């Protein structure tokens, strides 16, 4: 048993080193991602890199340009944040963020999220995310204007959150680098060339989102376009519940983020996810408690407050109802298991 555990640790370390080597080769400054010392200096039109605490602002792609202190024509942006670097997207564009190593904090209209190694999050054009990598983090992003997405046809990406395997991350890195290489020699390229460069990466990311694609069939609506629109809105509502799992969320907030009436939202949400909005909110708050019990040394009262419960008693009742045990026993079982995760990772 000890030998098997050691072998797994060695394989994990080797895999991490492999990802780090690929990240340096494919996504780092040596791969052509220029580091710009001043915020007023024009950035490369397709590539933005925030490194060592730097802050970069991308003012959107909806007008066909990335603005970073000066106009620079581009239809697509490849962004990366590492070592406490942060990137803010301030105008409407669809964005997908992949955590290659370490972790990152994401602040968006849907709430606050922690991306750990292997996680991804895809955000709607109105999300206006700001992403900051931790001291050892590397976060890659693909930022695409909404009007370009239909040109990709079957290579479609959905709003949501999930996890990537090591194999998926390595392939995403290679495809990300390949697309950057196609575009890095051009200041402006036709949409046809952009689609050709994007297609392999987006097809791969679409495969990563396979569970989302499967769920699309459960959405109400006659046309695929209507189903996609409804699915993305409901996904955004579900992200809002997860991003605000530290407090009680009012139904009026979910109605506003999804732009649906109470009746239609409740009906469609239950039809798609098999649970009501209120049940999902309660479950996600307990999932947040699981995470805090695993990753912090906070006491139970602090965790209860951090998950939006009025007191430790109401938290204890909700925790036992969802997990069949109390928080103290859960944490003890986790320690007995040597820190091994005792529950599945949330994927919405």
pLDDT in tens, 176-216: 888 877 776 555 666 777 778 888 999 999 999 988 878 88
Q: Which residue, 102, 76, 337, is CA-closest to 201?
A: 76
Return phi, psi of residue 95, to 5°: -140, 145
User: What span, in angstroms and rounded, lies between the C-alpha atoms of 66 and 73?
Assistant: 6
Residues 6+ apart with CB under 8 A from 98: 119, 120, 139, 140, 141, 164, 169, 172
Write down the mean pLDDT value for the chain: 81
pLDDT in tens, 118-152: 999 999 999 999 999 999 999 999 998 777 776 67
CATH class of 16-208: mainly beta
pTM of the predicted protein model? 0.83
Helix (H, G, I), strand (E, B) or coil at 69: coil
Q: Is the pLDDT of residue 43 over 50?
A: no
Cα→Cα distances 31→126, 140, 188, 272, Å: 31, 14, 20, 42
User: What span, in angstroms and rounded, lies between the C-alpha atoms of 191 and 148?
Assistant: 8
Q: Is the dihedral angle over the CA atoms 310, 312, 313, 315 positive or is it negative?
A: positive
What band does 61 get if pLDDT is binned at 50, 70 and 90? Answer: low
Each domain of the chain, given as residue ranges in start order, spans 16-208, 219-348
For the chain, percent of residues with pLDDT exceeding 70 = 75
Return phi, psi of residue 79, to 5°: -120, 150
Structure tokens at 183: 């575009």
What band does 304 get if pLDDT is binned at 50, 70 and 90? Answer: very high
Q: Is the pLDDT of residue 87 over 70?
A: yes
Helix (H, G, I), strand (E, B) or coil at 116: strand
Q: Is the pLDDT of residue 323 over 50?
A: yes
Q: Which residue, 149, 50, 22, is CA-closest to 92?
A: 149
User: 219-348: which CATH topology?
Assistant: Arc Repressor Mutant, subunit A (1.10.10)
């Amino acid at each position: 048993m000890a030998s098997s555990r050691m072998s797994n640790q060695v394989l994990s370390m080797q895999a991490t080193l492999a990802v780090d080597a690929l990240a340096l080769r494919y996504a780092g400054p040596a791969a052509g991602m220029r580091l710009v010392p001043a915020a007023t200096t024009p950035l490369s039109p397709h590539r933005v890199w925030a490194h060592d605490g730097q802050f970069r602002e991308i003012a959107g792609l909806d007008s066909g340009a990335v603005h970073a202190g000066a106009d620079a024509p581009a239809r697509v942006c490849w962004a990366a944040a590492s070592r406490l670097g942060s990137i803010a997207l301030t105008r409407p564009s669809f964005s997908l963020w992949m955590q290659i190593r370490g972790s990152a904090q994401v602040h968006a209209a849907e709430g606050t999220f922690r991306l750990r190694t292997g996680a991804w999050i895809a955000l709607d054009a109105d999300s206006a995310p700001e992403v900051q990598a931790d001291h050892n983090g590397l976060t890659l992003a693909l930022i695409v204007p909404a009007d370009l997405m239909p040109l990709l046809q079957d290579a479609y990406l959905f709003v949501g959150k999930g996890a990537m395997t090591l194999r998926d991350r390595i392939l995403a890195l290679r495809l990300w680098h390949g697309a950057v290489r196609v575009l890095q020699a051009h200041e402006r390229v036709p949409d046809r060339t952009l689609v050709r460069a994007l297609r392999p990466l987006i097809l791969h990311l679409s495969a990563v989102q396979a569970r989302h694609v499967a769920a699309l069939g459960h959405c109400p609506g006659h046309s695929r376009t209507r189903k996609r629109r409804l699915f993305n809105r409901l996904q955004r509502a579900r992200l809002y519940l997860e991003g605000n799992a530290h407090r009680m969320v009012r139904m009026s907030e979910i109605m506003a983020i999804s732009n649906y009436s109470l009746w239609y939202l409740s009906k469609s949400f239950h039809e798609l996810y098999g649970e009501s909005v209120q049940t999902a909110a309660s479950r996600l708050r307990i999932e947040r408690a699981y995470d805090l019990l695993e990753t912090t040394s906070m006491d139970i009262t602090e965790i209860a407050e951090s998950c939006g419960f009025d007191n430790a008693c109401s938290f204890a009742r909700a925790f036992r109802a969802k997990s069949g045990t109390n928080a103290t026993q859960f944490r003890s079982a986790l320690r007995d298991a040597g820190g091994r995760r005792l529950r599945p990772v949330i994927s919405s």
